[in-house]
Amino acid sequence: MNNLITVNDLTIAYPMSDGEIFRALNNISVEVNRGQIVGVVGESGAGKSTIGKTALGLLDENAIIEGGSVSLEGEKISNLSEAGFAPIRGKRIGYIYQNPMTALNPVLTIGEQLLETIEAHTDKRGNAAKAYAIELLEQAEVPEAEDRLSKYPHQLSGGLCQRIVFAIAICARPDLIIADEPTTALDVTVQKAVLDTLKKLAKQDNIAIILITHDMGVVAEMCDYVYVLRYGGMVEHGPTEQVLAHPSKDYSRELMAAIPRIDKKVDRFAVPGGMGKSADRDRALAFLLRREDRNVIVDDKPLLTARNLSKTFVTPATVVSAEKVFKAVDDVSFDVSHGETLGIVGESGSGKSTVGRMVLGLHQPDEGYELTYRAQDLSSLKSRAERLALSKSMQCIFQDPYSSLNPRMSAGENITHAIKAHGTVGRTEAHELAGDLMELVGLPRGNVRKMPHAFSGGERQRIGIARALSFRPDFLFCDEPTSALDVTVQAELLNLMKDLQSTLGLTMLFVSHDLAVVRQMCDRVLVMKAGQVVESGDCDKVLVDPDHPYTQGLLQAMPRFSFDMG
């Protein structure tokens, strides 16, 4: 037996509150050799994190190992007690946590958290331990290593915190590191550098890595061998290139097809995910197209014009802190023409969502701006009726499906509550319409009375789309509508949005951090950085051959999913 770690037919079960048993893992076998980097990939609910937790004895109290085992160098470890894991944790298996900002204790210094690990696993004490801590930080490519020891986690960036977590993980030179989504919480430009460091550290000490991720690009760049999981079961496994380029199972094929590509634009993603019943859909479309002001004559001017948008957030002084001023958006101007989709792309904190929220009136822009919609100056709208007509025409698809629906209203009520309140439709008509709209966005109308918590993230996002459509809008602001979703669900939803746009002639402002998604959805794009537009133009130009170094950097940092699938 020359495997470093062997997961053999492992089945992990959780008893649920309703008496049923949920199997997080079902007969899973994984093998890792010394120095090998193995990817475990799957969408949420695949059970991939559970493998790592079993190997370290970190499963929740109520988890039951129903069958199978985990062995480290031929020695069974999955049945050890908390004390039995002591000589394994940190010493033979290191662990890298998903979110570096929450993995470090907020009230202890970096130095203390590093030194206590060193003291637990080596016989270095005092100055020797400190010197070793600095050495580890330098290996993990933390700049100004010595200064960092006295800092607290909240004073450092996410990327730095993750490097510190790396330093902690390699401190005892373990044989294996389990890295659970190590870059999910980080921006794309940081992600690449952090992954490079991880790979370097592993090579340097011949450490094997189990890399748990949902990101195929990361797998393609890092792993020698990959396991694909779904709903706790094994779909397929093999050398990375073989699985990614020539997947042998339907699900893996679908998964690969669902990944948005930066290098070429496709009309539709090749994923199943149908629409509802056609009779219901036709009724919904008839309602949406039958609108009083649909035929407003518009000259060749753009539908929406934004000039000199800026937004300064002021956090007022409180008992404990002085006033904070933060310029989220700095002098942004753009046009959106009828029927086109304008993308705004940027990393977190670039102010891209704030731009859209200002257009909708959810934020008041700083003085000196100009917003024109359908040749009307938005700031001059005074009467309630005018504002209402406007808010009906401009709607939003929100980012977080778990908070964008009123949890105390049924799906149908969420969709039609507002148009009922405005008297657009009557009570019975609203109920019919809610069902029709649900079928239009691909949900069975039988679910109209269910409460939001009964739906998955993707389904909730569909309800959110139906709600936005109920107002018969011309303009949709899509605020990272798929960033909280799995890749196959994202592909289905993007397909739906493309279909709706072409049927209804919608104009869209599409905000995303994902360049590939923007490439697939948008005609033109603005690239934002720290509140300013650094580059703009057609997607085919900006996202293929950008002029600005920042955009070039973004493109380069994207994990390439380079195997061609023929």
Partner 1 sequence: MLSFVLRRLGQSGVLVLIMSILVFVGMYVVSDPVAVLASDDFTEEDRIALASELGVDRPLMVQYFSFLSNMVRGDFGTSFVYNKPVLPLIVERLPATLEVAFLAIGIGLCVGVPLGIYSGLNRKRKSTKTISFLTTVGYSIPNFWQALLLILVFAVWLKVLPASGRGDTTMLFGIELSFFNVDGLRHMLLPAINLAIYKICMQTRLARSGTQEVMFQDYMTFARAKGIPRPRLIRRHLLRNIMIPIVTITGLELGGLIAFSTVTETVFSWPGIGKLLLDSIHHADRPVVVAYLILIVMMFVVINFVVDVLYALLDPRIRYT
Partner 2 sequence: METAVEHTMTPKPDKPEPTMWERFRKVFKGHPMAIAGLIGVTLFILTAVFAPFIAPQNPYDLAKLDILDGLLPPGSRLYDGTYSAMGTDALGRDILSGVMYGLRISLFVAFTAVLVGSTIGVLLGLLAALRGGWVETIIMRAVDLKISFPGILLALMLLAIFGTGVDKVIYALIIGAWASKARLVRAVALSEMKKEYIDAARLAGLSDFRIMTRFLLPNSISPVLVVLPMSISGAIGAEATLSFLGVGVPITEPSLGLLIANGNDYLLSGKWWISIFPGAVLVAMVLCINVVSDRLRDHANPYLRAKD
Task: Report, in Å, the least distance between residue 553 CB and partner 1.
Answer: 30
Cα–Cα distance list, 85 to 121, 122, 168, 541 (Å): 13, 17, 18, 54
Q: What is the DSSP string of 22-47?
A: EEEEEEEEEEE-TT-EEEEE--TTS-
Count of chain residues binding partner 1 (CB under 8 A): 39
Task: Report what 154 binds from partner 1, partner 2, none; CB cut-off 5-8 Å by kind.
Answer: partner 1
d(CA 267, CA 353): 26
Identify which of 5, 39, 8 has the alpha carbon closest to the alpha carbon of residue 228. Answer: 39
- Reported as type and span, the H/E element at residue 243 is helix 240-245
Q: Is residue 63 within the footprint of partner 1 (CB under 8 A)?
A: no
Residue 360's binding partner out of partner 2, partner 1, none, with CB under 5 to 8 Å set by partner kind: partner 2
CA atoms within 13 Å, Cβ hemisphere of 69? 10
Q: Are strands 376-377 and 370-373 parallel, antiparallel or unpaired?
A: antiparallel
Q: Least separation, in Å, of the C-beta of 485 and partner 1?
A: 23
Q: Scanning residues 360 to 389, which ones bind partner 2 (CB under 8 A)? A: 360-362, 387-388
Binding residues for partner 2, rule CB under 8 A, total: 65
| Partner touching 212 among partner 2, partner 1, none, CB below 5 to 8 Å by kind | none
Q: Does 295 bind partner 2 (CB under 8 A)?
A: no
Rule CB under 8 A: say whether 454 interacts with partner 1: no
Selected range binding partner 2 among 70-78, 117-125, 329-337, 390-398, rule: CB under 8 A: 390-398
Cross-strand pairs, 313: 326
Radius of gyration of the chain (CA): 26
How near is the Cβ of 320 to partner 1 at its closest, in Å?
6
The one of partner 1, partner 2, none whose footprint includes residue 396, by CB under 5 to 8 A per kind, is: partner 2
**Structure tokens, 529:** 């950085």
Q: Which tokens hold the place of 69?
A: 């085992």
Three-state DSSP at 244 gives: helix
CA-to-CA distance for 225 and 3, rounded, in angstroms?
14
Helix axes 158-169, 110-121, angle to 10 degrees: 10
Which helix (H) or strand (E) element contains residue 218? helix 216-222
Phi-psi region of 84 (alpha: psi -120 to 50; beta: other; left: phi over 0): alpha
Stretch that binds partner 2, among 71-79, 431-439, 460-468, 552-560 (CB under 8 A): 460-468
- Find the binder of partner 1 among 1, 297, 314, 322 (CB under 8 A): 322
Single out the segment in contact with partner 1 by CB under 8 A; choices: 100-108, 247-255, 439-447, 557-565: 100-108
Residues in 418-457 at the binding interface with partner 2, rule: CB under 8 A: 418, 421-422, 442, 444, 446-447, 449-451, 454-457
Q: Using the rule CB under 8 A, is 464 a contact of partner 2? A: yes
The answer to whether 395 and 477 are in contact (CB under 8 A) is yes
Cβ atoms 434, 411 nearer than 8 A: yes
Of residues 105, 157, 206, 315, which one binds partner 1 by CB under 8 A?
Answer: 105
Smallest distance from partner 1 to CB 58, Å: 6
> Which residues make beta-bridge pairs with 342?
509, 524
Q: Fill in the per-residue mask, 70 to 99: x = in contact with partner 1 (CB under 8 A), - = not in contact.
A: ------------x--xx-xxxx--xx-xxx
Interatomic CA distance for residues 347 and 488, integer angstroms? 23
Binding residues for partner 1 (CB under 8 A): 56, 58, 61, 82, 85-86, 88-91, 94-95, 97-99, 102-109, 112-113, 116-117, 120-121, 152, 154, 165, 168, 172, 317, 319-322
Q: Where on the chain is the footprint of partner 2 (CB under 8 A)?
A: 14, 17, 22, 24, 43-47, 49, 60-62, 272-274, 357, 360-362, 387-388, 391-392, 394-396, 398-400, 403-409, 414, 417-418, 421-422, 442, 444, 446-447, 449-451, 454-459, 462, 464, 467, 471, 485-486, 488-489, 492-493
